[in-house]
Amino acid sequence: MDSAHNQYHQAEANLDSLLPFAQGANRFCFQHPDNPDRCLKVIRPGSIQARYQKQSVVKRLLGKARLNDNTQELRAHQQPAIRRLIQTGNEESLWSHLPKFYGRVATTLGPANESEMLRCKDGNIAPTLEFLIRGGGLTPELLEAIQRFENWLTANRILTRNLLPHNLVVTDRTGQPELFLVDGLGAPAIPQALASAPGWSERYIERKVRRFEKRLAWEQDSQGHSWKHFQRLR
């Protein structure tokens, strides 16, 4: 990062009077109060402790740090595939399906991960794929966007956790819908360690893509089955 960028990050972002525009089980997402083109992800108070208490005794021995989604996201951006794209000058490809990532910053609600705020060409915040599926199903345009996203994962060997429609947003800012992964980047420690083994990343990504497509089928027509049950049917 350049010096101007570092100076910008020294100022603590005041989130005290703001409401999150989105939230998950573990994080709040805020529009940066000083830059509407940036998103700030903050850990929800008490979420790490609550998750820790639900862990088995064995897993508790691994500590709480691994339950911090912001820390995991920082590590995910250091995965070999992403470093390789940056080092070879292919950042345009990298950020074609990931929001640009700016690292950790200070806020009045604690440390936050700062990233690009993804908007549609009308200026509205990009909706999730889940929202669009439930509103109008998988249109031909969305199916093409999903295929481009899956091809991008495979071609660049980007490792993710399970791909979920609520962790993907869709923007039409380029004139056609495109998927962006806003949560779930990176793989658990052991899969990440195996990433350099010949053919391993490709097989890992293929499994994630197959599971994602099964999830999309469930989102469209669950037939009254829970996701857990639906997975066993197919």
pLDDT tens digits, one per residue of 140-188: 999 999 999 999 999 999 999 999 999 999 999 999 999 999 999 998 8
Q: Mean pLDDT score of the chain, rounded to an integer?
A: 91
pLDDT at 8 over 70: no
pLDDT at 93 over 90: yes
HSE, side-chain direction, 13 A CA sphere, residue 13? 26
Which segment of 2-16, 26-40, 105-119 scores lowest on mean pLDDT? Answer: 2-16
Q: In this structure, what is the dihedral angle of CA atoms 40, 135, 216, 220, given to the nearest 10 degrees?
A: 150
Q: Between these two residues, 110 and 232, which has the higher pLDDT value?
A: 110
Q: What are 192-224's pLDDT values in tens digits?
A: 878 888 889 999 999 999 999 999 999 988 788
Give the C-alpha separation, 217 to 199, whole Å.
28
Q: In this structure, what is the dihedral angle of CA atoms 18, 76, 178, 167, given to the nearest 10 degrees?
A: -60
Name the percent of the chain lying above pLDDT 90.
71
What average pLDDT does the segment 97-116 reach?
97
Which pLDDT score is estimated for 2?
43
CB-based contact 27:44 (threshold 8 Å): yes
Kindly report the pTM of this predicted structure.
0.91
